[in-house]
Amino acid sequence: MTTRDRCLGLTVIVLWGLNFIAIHVGLEHFPPFLFASLRFAVMALPVIAFVRFPRVRMRWFLLYALGFGFGQFALLFLAMDLGMPTGLASLVLQTSAPFTVLLGVVFLRERVVPAQLLGILAAVVGIVVIGVDRAGHSDIGVGGVVVPIVLTVLAGLSWAIGNIGSRRALTEGTPGKPRGLMDDSLRLTLWLSVVPPIPLLAMSLLIDGPAADLESLTTLGTSSGLTALAGLAYVVLLGTIVGAGLWSGLMKRYPASRVAPMSLLVPIVGISASWALLGEQPTWVEIGGAALVIAGCAVGVLAAPRSRPAVHGQREVAPGERIPAPDQREVAPGERIPAPGERIPAPGERIPAPGERVPAPGQREVAPGQRVPAPGQREDAPGQRTVAPGELDPATRIRRVSAQRVDDGLVHT
């Protein structure tokens, strides 16, 4: 991974760490499923009107949209509404990293080195240490933390499923169209917003009730309503368009096992922001667990299997893609593949029709109706004609006429 892409990854980490503060502010005014629905609905109509659908297969797009969009945020917003602390939510959600690595090994046949597994294990231990310590100091107690934590873990699994769908969508492309174009990652992120709004709104009406939804919409002019709108704007613009767009680009250029561990840094930003802005004071145990998370994330990224750098003119091979042999080349879309033993004609060369006689070297094609000279017979020069059978050729006829005139005394000396 290049230094530029590492910086892009760290930018996403900061944006997503602060995203939990924006979610906390929004959930203080909106019901959870309505807030999740609005998060995508404000983007859906402009995207449908002005953004072309990305060149990806529909099944991978739906896997990405339902995993990263619908499942992750429905479960996360519900967990936070049930009392999951903001900093703890940012921490437990990062179970998406080990889930993504495992799914990448199973479904994408990616390689994982032992050092990377140890790094992820250390980060998971750090997450457990912080989670247990925060649960012990939480007002809702250990029992009240179990359900929100389970919901947040399931949100991390849904995020991991979306990561796999995003990578397959951007590397596989669609039949007959170019694969892996740079603008497809942004278009894929934007079109993600089209799928979740309707099912999330239906869940809000069924679970939260129409009265709660209507009250939150009619009080947008209040102080809490305006603050919630600011949080919604942050989640949509920075958390989704910028953050998810950069993340999809990284998932496209590198194996999932190299990108996903970076998300383990999100809780460090989330916990620090919760302490600075919401007054959630971290303990020394939490700081120690955070150090484990940082160390494990660093090992997970830096110890990932390194592929040989591509030379100029080469590109990374997509999962399941057939690699041409040294004497082969890639077939362009629509190009005919010659049968075994068939010669490929040179540019401008005519291919003989079935049964057509091909002239041997030194011969030429005979025009329609033209006489073919017999073996040993010379061919007529330009301006000559062929002598009919029994007919004297012009030179012999002239000699005979001259001799006859001599015999008749017609020649005088």
Rounded to whole angstroms, how far apart are CA atoms 34 and 211?
Answer: 12
Amino acid letter, 290: A
First-to-final CA distance of the chain: 110
* Averaged pLDDT score across all residues of the chain: 76
Q: What is the chain's pLDDT, residue by residue, as a tens digit (413 residues)? A: 788 888 888 999 999 889 889 988 998 999 989 998 998 898 898 899 998 888 888 899 999 999 988 999 899 888 888 878 787 788 788 778 778 877 888 887 777 788 878 887 887 888 788 777 766 766 656 666 678 878 888 998 998 999 888 888 877 765 555 544 445 777 887 888 899 999 999 989 988 889 988 999 989 889 889 999 999 999 888 987 788 778 878 877 887 667 877 777 887 888 888 888 888 777 788 788 878 877 877 676 666 555 444 444 455 454 445 555 555 666 655 566 666 666 666 666 666 666 667 666 666 666 666 666 666 666 656 666 665 666 666 666 666 656 565 555 554 44
- Are 100 and 260 within 8 A, CB to CB? yes
What pLDDT score was predicted for residue 84? 80
In order of 12, 153, 154, 236, 407, the CA distances from 76 in angstroms are 18, 9, 9, 16, 128
Q: Tell me the Ramachandran region of residue 84: left when phi exceeds 0, alpha when psi lies from -120 to 50, beta otherwise.
A: beta
What pLDDT score was predicted for residue 229? 92
Tokens found for residue 413: 């000396």
What pLDDT score was predicted for residue 154? 92
Domain boundaries, the chain: 3-302
In order of 23, 33, 169, 330, 342, the CA distances from 336 in angstroms are 55, 53, 27, 12, 12
pTM: 0.64
Per-residue pLDDT tens for 326-363?
556 666 555 666 666 666 666 666 666 666 676 666 66
Rounded to whole angstroms, how far apart are CA atoms 118 and 335?
Answer: 48
What pLDDT score was predicted for residue 174? 58
What pLDDT score was predicted for residue 6? 87
What pLDDT score was predicted for residue 181? 47
What pLDDT score was predicted for residue 15? 92
What pLDDT score was predicted for residue 175? 56
